Amino acid sequence: MSKIAFAVAMVGVLAIAGCTPADEEPDAPLDETTTDSVDAPEDEPSDPTDPACLVGDWEIAQAELQSYYDVVSGEVDGVTFGIEGGTGLSFTATEYRYTPGFTLLLEIDGATSGEGTATGSLGGTYTAEDGVITTELADNDLSVVVTVLGQTIDGSDLAGGFLQSDPINQAPFDCSSGTPVLQFETSSGRTPVALTPAG
C-alpha cells in the first residue's frame, strides 16, 4: 500500500479499528457483611467493568485523538497526522451511537499533503460483560473524504469494506478513573482512548 493510500485509510481508522478482548482478572469477592459504601469514592464505580459506567453522552476529545494518531504515525515511516475536532460516543443501557466529526491533516515525507474528514454515524445495540463491549450493528452511514494534492478522494473506496465494521465491537473498557477508557487497536497492539462527558 502506498503512503497516500495508507494515510487515506487512517482517516477512518477509528471507524474501522477492531479490538480483541483482553484477559480479565476475576473480580474480587464482595464482603457480604459490608452494606455501607461511605468509604468508597462516590464518583468511582466499585467494579471498573460495570456496564453502568458506560451510560451517557461522551466524546473522544481532540487531545485523545491526537495521542492515538501519534501512536499510529509512529508505526509507519514518513506519515504523520494532526487532528482538528473530536468524536462523539453515546450509550444507553442497551444502545450506542458513534459519531466522528474530525479533520485529519496529512503530512507525508515532511510535507503537508492534504486533509481528510470523517463524518456520519453508526449505531446499534450492545452488551458489556467482563470488561468487553460486544455490539450488534444496526446502521452505518460513516463517510471519509480526503483531499490530497488538490484531488478529492472518497476514502470509502480506498478503505473498501473496512468502513462497514464497527470500532466499538470487542473493545475492552475500564472505568477505574471514574469515566470510561476504551482500548483501540493499532498494528502493534492497543492504546487507551479516554472518554470525557460531552458538552
CA 104 distance to own-chain centroid: 15
pLDDT above 70 covers a percentage of the chain that reads 71
Question: What residues are paired with 32 via a beta bridge?
Answer: none
Spatial contact of 46 and 176, defined as CB atoms under 8 Å apart: no
Instruction: Read off the pLDDT of residues 116-142 as tens digits, 9 standing for 90 and up.
Output: 888 889 999 999 999 999 999 999 888
**Which amino acid is present at 96?**
Y
CA 145 distance to own-chain centroid: 19
pLDDT given for residue 168 in this prediction: 82
Q: Is the model's pLDDT at 160 over the cut of 90?
A: no
User: Model-level pTM?
Assistant: 0.72
pLDDT given for residue 172 in this prediction: 94
Phi, psi of 61 (to 5 degrees): -70, 165
Q: Is the model's pLDDT at 34 over the cut of 60?
A: no
Alpha helices in 17-106 (DSSP H): 62-73
Q: Where are the domains of the chain?
A: 3-17+47-197
Q: Which three cell numbers stand for residue 56?
A: 451517557
